[in-house]
Amino acid sequence: MNHRINEVLSERFKRFKTEDFSAPCFPISVDSHLVNIDESGTCNNQNFLLYISLLKRFDLMDGSAYTLKIKRNSFWIPFLFSNEVGVSIRLQKEDENNWFSFDWLPFVEKPEEHYIDGLFVMGRDHWKWAINDVEINDVKLQQIFSEYEQTVDFNKYIEKVGSRYEFKNGVVDSESASDFDKRLLRFNLQKVMEFLK
């Protein structure tokens, strides 16, 4: 049953990789402060901010391929422990998964990998694992997330006005646009695509 925790998180990150941020809502707290940046009932913006913050934290904003590494903080045993398990994660560049590094040998000491400790709190909901909370306690990730929370203009390229979307006058230059700006533009276009379905 514990392996299902990994499957739930892996599925969430597969959706993030395809830039699908329409997943169900879960509370995000930064140093015990609850984040509230979306309209009620939607979590696209907070999911987007969480994902890009993790990409920046692990130096993956340039679109590098990565592997999700998951480490459960405890092992869940039914009826003996609470129905929550803390989960730490690491996004590791795929070029760091090198067979010549000898990391795969059990007797070779591995350099300490940095995991974001206890980032996800997984809970049992009707006999299934689900993400209950995201607790950002890692100082670097807190700084990145808080900076994005305060500075990201979700209406930079496209703004929702009532029941319609308005495209703002602007130029998108693929050579001078930052990796972040490209991701923000794709995120905005995804919202319009959802609207048109």
Summarised one tens digit per residue, pLDDT across range 136-194 is 999 999 999 999 999 999 888 888 888 888 888 777 788 888 889 889 989 988 888 88
CA 184 to chain centre: 14
Bridge-based pairing of strands 28-30 and 33-34 is: antiparallel
Summarised one tens digit per residue, pLDDT across range 42-68 is 688 899 999 999 999 999 998 888 999
- pLDDT surpasses 90 at 128: no
Domains of the chain plus CATH, in order, are 2-152 (3.10.450), 153-196 (no CATH)
What is the CB neighbour count within 10 angstroms for residue 193? 10
Q: Is 80 helix (H, G, I), strand (E, B) or coil?
A: coil
C-alpha 136/C-alpha 31 separation (Å) is: 6
pTM of the model: 0.82
The token pair at 47 is 């999911």
The token pair at 55 is 């990409």
Q: Is 167 helix (H, G, I), strand (E, B) or coil?
A: strand
